[in-house]
């Protein structure tokens, strides 16, 4: 393993994430040589398609995964929430490092918060999940689609094109743009995307020596939490393009998972919390509980069919 080639998108955030992982690896194995390979993804090439139509489909990750399968790179670093919930054959997430902040954040002109934005203010977001929750809190705001990398999105507020934007706090902090945050939303106000703030370090399934090396970066509690969140999303038949929020925390072996499904054009929403020790079982159980509360009717509007096969024998509390 003379040189490990790490594939990355060329965006500022993707490069930060990749260099962060490269630094962690060389700190663990000082003799390791790392080469960063920039790869242009389909999502970087096609900028006029709304993210609501493509997120969770591999739009930003498939090109990197193909480079892994072709042997052009040895490792790929992803924002975990961008990976489709169905694993790609031949590849494995070898490490889920310590998670960053999970919250969503508002960046608004003149230090405004969501409550103090004037009626009719323009708010940009690329996420149906964020749009649904913002609309439920402030139906009088004018929501606009948002594309581009994180600095570009922030610049649309600085230039006066938009009054505010909503995006992940983790990305802002990783790029040292936290000064633009005017409000960080508590998770009970705005549920984040499943796996938000987490990274996925992926390699080929058969690269056993490399898998052992990458495992040094794995954080057990983060992996268990995002497994529960993504299992819930998978059970609901969703991807990042549907308004499903979920966040899990660990207390020893016990996990607490909170999740919600939000209608985009009405204030309708269903939310539920549950706890347990098995991430997969907990994600399935909470998904079933949400469906029992009517989440399936909301998901049907997005042409999504739940993947649940049988009832989960798991206690869920509302």
Catalytic residues: 82
Question: Locate tokens 């042409």: which residue?
Answer: 303
Cβ atoms 229, 256 nearer than 8 A: no
First vs last Cα of the chain: how many Å apart? 50
User: 166: part of which helix (H) or strand (E)?
Assistant: strand 164-168
Those residues with Cβ within 8 angstroms of residue 299's Cβ, 6 or more apart along the chain or in another chain: 236, 237, 238, 242, 261, 305, 306
Cα dihedral 166/306/280/267 (nearest 10): 40
* DSSP class of 192: P
Cβ pair 242, 295 in contact under 8 A: no
Enter the DSSP assignment of 72.
Answer: S
DSSP 216-285: GG--HHHHHHHHHHHHHHHHTT--TTS-EEEEEEEETTEEEEEEEEE-SSSS-EEEEEEEES-HHHHHHH
């Amino acid at each position: 393993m003379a040189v490990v080639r790490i594939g990355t998108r060329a965006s500022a955030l993707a490069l930060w994430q990749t260099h962060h992982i490269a630094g962690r690896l060389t700190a663990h194995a000082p003799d390791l040589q790392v080469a960063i390979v920039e790869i242009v993804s389909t999502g970087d090439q096609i900028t006029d398609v709304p993210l609501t139509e493509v997120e969770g489909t591999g739009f930003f990750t498939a090109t990197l995964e193909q480079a892994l399968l072709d042997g052009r790179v040895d490792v790929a670093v992803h924002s975990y929430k961008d990976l489709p919930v169905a694993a790609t054959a031949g590849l494995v997430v070898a490490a889920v490092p310590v998670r960053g902040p999970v919250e969503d954040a508002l960046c608004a002109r003149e230090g405004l918060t969501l409550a103090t934005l004037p009626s009719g203010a323009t708010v940009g977001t690329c996420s149906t999940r964020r749009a649904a929750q913002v609309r439920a809190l402030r139906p009088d705001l004018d929501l606009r689609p948002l594309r581009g990398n994180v600095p570009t999105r922030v610049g649309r507020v600085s230039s006066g094109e938009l009054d505010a934007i909503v995006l992940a706090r983790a990305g802002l902090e990783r790029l040292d743009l936290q000064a633009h945050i005017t409000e960080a939303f508590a998770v009970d106000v705005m549920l984040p995307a499943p796996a938000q703030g987490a990274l996925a370090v992926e390699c080929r399934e058969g690269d056993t020596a490399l898998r052992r090396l990458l495992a040094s970066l794995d954080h057990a509690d983060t992996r268990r939490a995002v497994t529960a969140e993504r299992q819930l999303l998978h059970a609901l038949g969703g991807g990042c393009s549907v308004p499903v929020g979920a966040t899990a925390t660990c207390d020893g072996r016990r996990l607490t998972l909170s999740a919600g499904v939000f209608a985009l054009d009405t204030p309708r929403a269903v939310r539920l919390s549950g706890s347990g020790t098995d991430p997969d079982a907990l994600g399935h159980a909470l998904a079933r509980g949400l469906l029992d509360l009517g989440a399936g009717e909301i998901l049907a509007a997005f042409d999504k069919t739940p993947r649940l096969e049988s009832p989960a024998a798991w206690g869920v509390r509302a």
